[in-house]
């Protein structure tokens, strides 16, 4: 779930216990080389890694830091809510093809499904689902990301919870579970099949997949650890479904966000809609959210948290500079480290 609203300039200590290990890349040292090890030393992650691509700077850089639990450049991992950017892209493509409208109600595509505690599918639009302004409760508040559920079970759980205020931004995994159902209803194919056909295959994201019920990760992969240190590498992806099922790699996420933001996946009108945060009062667009950095640059992307994994992708408008970093746990002890790493990557002259 997005937690950043503004980004502060974070001072970084020069006394580090670990230095990032050298990678196969020959790019010069960057400001992020100072910050990345702090995800391990201060954030208490077993390991951290980043892959950045800058068309106007140092090219491709891979760096990692660890305390004995390494992350490889080609490792597969669970991307959690970054799945939402893929789902939103598919929905906006369908809108561009006039197969649905963002003004459509949920009732039009899923008749009778939303009837419950303060929820009425006749009043909730697809736009509200995309921008997290539907007012629907988050089913994950009950399942805690550990209980596999079907989409219909997730909706029923959400309807039993107190709703949020419709029209106000309130992040809810339920919104994107419903969008996954809408994609299936409109196309006759699963959201996973549509994302594969429309995004994964055309971009050559050969290491990205929607695993369904498959608990294991593709090779190669490292280990994933819960906040208490237990090994959670094996996980049933149905704990998240269309809200967070994706398995991918650092390179594939960089490629995806670069392509999305440079206009390869959506017509310009639809991309502008995706980046419009007015409905969510600046907090969220459609499957993307902005962060304004201390140097004045705004980056767009998403984060993903699922048991054993936290990942964050961010890119400049136009997609020429993109960063993805990850840790192999779902919790970082110091929340200031993420904005510090983003500022170090995209505002290097301030470091």
How many Å apart are CA 185 and CA 144, to the nearest integer? 27
Tell me which CATH homologous superfamily contains domain 32-78+211-350: DD-peptidase/beta-lactamase superfamily (3.40.710.10)
Report the run of H or E that residue 294 belongs to, with start and end: none
How many Å apart are CA 53 and CA 59, to the nearest integer? 5
**Residue 203 CB: number of other CB atoms within 10 A?**
17
How many Å apart are CA 300 and CA 149, to the nearest integer? 30
* Residue 350 confidence (pLDDT): 65
* Residue 348 confidence (pLDDT): 81
| Angle of CA points 174, 178, 181, to nearest 5° | 145
Give yes or no for a contact between 288 and 85, defined as CB atoms under 8 angstroms apart: yes
Give yes or no for a contact between 235 and 306, defined as CB atoms under 8 angstroms apart: yes
Domain ranges of the chain: 32-78+211-350, 83-187
pLDDT in tens, the chain (351 residues): 454 333 323 333 322 223 334 344 545 557 899 999 999 999 999 999 999 999 887 789 999 998 777 899 999 999 999 999 999 999 999 999 999 999 999 999 999 999 887 789 999 999 999 999 999 999 999 999 899 999 999 999 999 999 998 899 999 999 999 999 999 999 999 999 999 999 999 999 999 999 999 999 999 999 999 989 999 999 999 999 999 999 999 999 999 999 999 999 999 999 999 999 999 999 999 999 999 999 999 999 999 999 999 999 999 999 999 999 999 999 888 999 999 999 999 998 765
* Residue 67 confidence (pLDDT): 78
Alpha helix positions (H), the chain: 32-35, 38-41, 83-96, 106-109, 126-130, 140-143, 151-159, 173-187, 191-195, 201-203, 250-261, 268-274, 337-346
How many Å apart are CA 291 and CA 301, to the nearest integer? 9
From 18, 22, 11, 52, select the one nearest 38 (Cα to Cα). Answer: 18
Give yes or no for a contact between 244 and 304, defined as CB atoms under 8 angstroms apart: yes
* Residue 351 confidence (pLDDT): 56
From 143, 89, 147, 122, select the one nearest 266 (Cα to Cα). Answer: 89
């Amino acid at each position: 779930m997005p937690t950043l609203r503004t980004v502060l300039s974070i001072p970084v200590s020069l006394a580090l216990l670990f230095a990032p290990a050298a990678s196969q890349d020959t790019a010069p040292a960057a400001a992020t080389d100072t910050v990345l090890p702090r995800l391990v030393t201060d954030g208490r992650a077993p390991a951290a890694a980043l892959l950045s691509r800058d068309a106007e700077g140092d090219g491709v850089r891979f760096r990692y830091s660890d305390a004995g639990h390494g992350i490889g450049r080609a490792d597969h991992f669970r991307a959690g809510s970054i799945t939402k950017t893929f789902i939103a892209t598919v929905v906006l493509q369908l809108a561009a093809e006039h197969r649905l409208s963002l003004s459509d109600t949920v009732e039009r595509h899923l008749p009778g499904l939303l009837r419950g505690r303060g929820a009425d599918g006749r009043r909730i639009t697809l736009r509200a689902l995309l921008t997290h302004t539907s007012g629907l409760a988050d089913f994950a508040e009950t399942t805690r990301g550990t209980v596999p559920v079907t989409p219909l079970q997730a909706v029923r759980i959400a309807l039993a919870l107190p709703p949020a205020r419709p029209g106000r931004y309130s992040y809810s995994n339920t919104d994107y579970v419903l969008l996954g159902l809408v994609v299936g209803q409109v196309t006759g194919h699963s959201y996973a099949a549509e994302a594969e056909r429309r995004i994964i295959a055309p971009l050559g994201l050969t290491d990205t997949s929607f695993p369904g019920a498959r608990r294991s990760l593709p090779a190669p992969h490292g280990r994933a650890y819960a906040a208490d240190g237990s090994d959670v590498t094996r996980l049933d992806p149905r704990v998240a479904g269309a809200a967070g099922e994706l398995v991918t790699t650092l390179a594939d996420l960089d490629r995806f966000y670069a392509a999305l933001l440079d206009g390869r996946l959506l017509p310009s009108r639809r991309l502008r809609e995706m980046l419009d945060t007015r409905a969510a009062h600046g907090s969220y667009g459609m499957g993307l959210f902005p962060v304004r950095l201390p140097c004045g640059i705004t980056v767009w992307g998403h984060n993903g948290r699922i048991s054993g994994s936290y990942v964050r992708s961010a890119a400049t408008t136009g997609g020429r500079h993109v960063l993805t970093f990850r840790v192999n746990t779902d919790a970082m002890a110091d929340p200031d480290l993420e904005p510090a790493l983003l500022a170090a990557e995209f505002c290097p002259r301030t470091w």
